[in-house]
Structure 1
Amino acid sequence: MELRIEGMSCGGCAKSVTKAIQSVDSAARVEANPAERSVRVETSAAQAAILRVLEQAGYPATVS
């Protein structure tokens, strides 16, 4: 899934986003690009669960 995260602007943000996603699915593959504020996620978790955990972490996301 492709996500847009407006609040992700640096490497530290990208690490926080990755950690949040992997708290739902520890095997998730996450490719974060802070410059483009985009994240590509390969996961078996439900999209709603990923969006919810990002919201809770302070990084609300939209599906792009």
Structure 2
Amino acid sequence: MLKLKVEEMSCGHCVKAVTEAANTVPDVDKVEVDLEGGLVTVTGNADSAAVISAISEAGYPAQKVA
């Protein structure tokens, strides 16, 4: 499981865009977005750098939460 802090999410469109971006990465099984907390949880065996890159390229800066 990968937990990310994702900035600049403010609405349902943002949630959809982040979810779709993460789902483009191979081996992502599920994406859960906590809009209020600015957190995204990704389950599966996806490469974390690839998930972060995909979300960031969609316009939402992302970083791994320790």
TM-score (norm 1): 0.88
Shift of 1:25: 2.9
Any residues of structure 2 matched to 1:7-22 within 5 Å, and which? 7-22=8-23
Number of aligned residue pairs: give it: 64
Of Structure 1 and Structure 2, which has the larger fraction of its residues in strand?
2
- Give the letter aligned to residue 10 of structure 1: C
TM-score scaled by structure 2? 0.86
Residues 6-52 of structure 1 deviation map (CA, whole Å, 9 limit, x = unaligned): 11111110110000010113752011011111111102110010011
Q: Which residue of 1 aligns with 2:56?
A: 55
4+ runs of 1 displaced by more than 3 Å?
none
Q: Are 1:2 and 2:25 counterparts?
A: no
Name stretches of at least 5 consecutive residues in structure 2 with no aligned partner.
Answer: none
Per the alignment, in what secondary structure is the counterpart of residue 24 of structure 1?
coil
* 1:31 partnered with 2:29: no
Partners of 1:26 and 1:62 in 2: how far apart?
Answer: 19
- 8 A contact 2:7–2:38 mirrored in 1: yes
